[in-house]
Amino acid sequence: QQQVKQSPQSLIVQKGGISIINCAYENTAFDYFPWYQQFPGKGPALLIAIRPDVSEKKEGRFTISFNKSAKQFSLHIMDSQPGDSATYFCAASLQRRALTFGSGTRLQVQP
């Protein structure tokens, strides 16, 4: 599997602040880039996803920015809330094949 590199490993943000998580990929054939959110004791759940022909996608407080030439994409969480405290995984896949996940970012939003 091709690697997806994710940073930072952990992140502490104050309530109302912006959380930013970055990912970089190697395989230029990847055509689907989702972000998953995982709470303790639960499976990952899809948060938002983007295709490489789009540079940005926004859903509520969550935005993906995609830079195809740099092979990088990032998740921005605006107005971060304590309920957003979770582990976030970026991922990439080719067509309908399995996901290659980043290593995860543990986000803690302090009240």
Partner 1 sequence: DAGVIQSPRHEVTEMGQEVTLRCKPISGHDYLFWYRQTMMRGLELLIYFNNNVPIDDSGMPEDRFSAKMPNASFSTLKIQPSEPRDSAVYFCASSLARAYNQPQHFGDGTRLSIL
- What are the residues binding partner 1 (CB under 8 A)? 1, 31-32, 34, 36, 41-46, 49, 51, 89, 93, 95-104
As measured in angstroms, the least distance from the Cβ of 111 to partner 1 is 27
Our CB check for partner 1 shows the closer of 15 and 51 to be: 51
Our CB check for partner 1 shows the closer of 85 and 104 to be: 104
Tokens (6 digits) for 40:
């303790």
As measured in angstroms, the least distance from the Cβ of 15 to partner 1 is 28
As measured in angstroms, the least distance from the Cβ of 38 to partner 1 is 9
For 95, phi then psi, to 5°, come to: 50, -125
Dihedral sign of CA atoms 76, 58, 55, 29 in order: positive
Our CB check for partner 1 shows the closer of 92 and 109 to be: 92
Our CB check for partner 1 shows the closer of 19 and 100 to be: 100
Q: What are 41-45's contacts with CB under 8 Å, separation 24+?
A: 44/89
Distance of CA 66 to the CA centre of its chain: 11
d(CA 62, CA 84): 11
